[in-house]
Amino acid sequence: MIAYIQYLLFRLICWAAQKLSFRMADRVGRMLGRIVFSVIKVRKNVTLDNLRRAFPERTEADIRLIAKSAYENYGIAIIEFLWASNKSVDVIRQVVRVAHADVMTTALSKGKGVILLSGHFGAWEFLIPAPFAYFNVQVTGLAQRQSNVRVDAIIDGIRRRFGNDTIPMGVASRGVLQALAKGNIIIILGDQSASKESEYVQFFGRPAATHRGAAAFSLKARAPIVMGFVVRQPDGTHVLTFEEVEQSDLDPTKKENVLELTRRHVAVLEKWIRKHPDHWLWMHKRWKHSEYHAQQPALTEAE
């Protein structure tokens, strides 16, 4: 019964978001973020602690301002995702512009497919419709399934619009390699914590358990990794910018290069977060396994 009520509530919110103008969706999302930050305070302490550790040179006032803005961005990202759920390709082009399109065009021209890698940064849900809208190529996203199957079906349906596809996390290997072999774009959000037994990579000066899947797929399929970042503009629209991760010097047959390529794409992500700290999902427990790592001396070589 609870799951069904959640489903009905989600459908209602989705319907309401679709009726909003783009400007109003921004305002509603911003207000939602403020309420969660100031009233509900979901993971507020986690957010503030992460920011203090990432930016020790910042004042407490700066840290709190970034945190508040990050919650606002998260609220906007959610409402905009639902707002866009019934919009056309032309509308997507109006609210998301592309910078450095040549980076993606060149990567696609290699014929190996492209791994479009990012994190929960800015309006990340536009990473699926925007590449299709501008490059007219099949886009497949790796997605974490929701516990409520009815809600998951709605979200999956939204992401599958424009002929795109999704692959569930955990069963992705064969599907990813097949999609890359067809020359498709595979979207991976690689910024969430991996299991404590995973490799650790330096992220904002601290070891963080990191997924190696993107690098492993890239080297196995000989597919380039292009980082994508959807940056919010002062007028509320977005610019999707591409940056390829250098790997021409890496031998794809050597296993140690999976870790090296992982380090490189994590470094690019950190660079963009430092440029736009309010765009990232600081409420995530990204460094939750750091203490475990500190107790495992043998793992320090992976840093």
Residue 94: HSE in the Cβ half-sphere, 13 Å Cα cutoff:
9
Q: What would the DSSP string read from start to end of 179-232?
A: HHHTT-EEEEE--S---TTS-EEEETTEEEE---HHHHHHHHHTPPEEEEEEEE
Domain residue limits at 210: 2-292
What CATH number is attached to the domain comprising 242? 3.40.1130
Q: Would you state the structure tokens that stand for residue 225, as one six-digit string?
A: 């990794």
CA distance 189 to 218: 14
Say how many domains are in the chain. Answer: 1
Nearest to 159 by CA among 186, 203, 128: 128
For residues 300 and 283, which has the higher predicted lDDT (pLDDT)?
Answer: 283
Identify whether 73 is part of a domain.
yes
Query: Could you report the per-residue pLDDT of 32-62, keeping only the tens digit for each?
Result: 999 999 999 999 999 999 999 999 999 999 9
- pLDDT over 90 (residue 294): no
Enter the DSSP assignment of 289.
T
Identify whether 108 is part of a domain.
yes
Q: What does the H/E/C string look like for 3-24?
A: HHHHHHHHHHHHHHHHHCCHHH
Average pLDDT of the segment spanning 131-153? 91
- Continuous segment of H or E residues that includes residue 71: helix 60-83
Identify whether 300 is part of a domain.
no
Identify whether 16 is part of a domain.
yes
Lowest mean pLDDT, pick from 95-104, 159-168, 197-206: 159-168
Nearest to 223 by CA among 138, 103, 137, 112: 112
Identify whether 252 is part of a domain.
yes
Query: Could you report the per-residue pLDDT of 266-288, keeping only the tens digit for each?
Result: 999 999 999 999 999 999 999 99
Per-residue confidence band for 166, with pLDDT thresholds at 50, 70 and 90: confident
pTM of the predicted protein model: 0.94
Using only the alpha carbons of the chain, give its radius of gyration: 19
Identify whether 99 is part of a domain.
yes
Query: Could you report the per-residue pLDDT of 239-252, keeping only the tens digit for each?
Result: 999 999 999 999 99
Per-residue confidence band for 298, with pLDDT thresholds at 50, 70 and 90: low
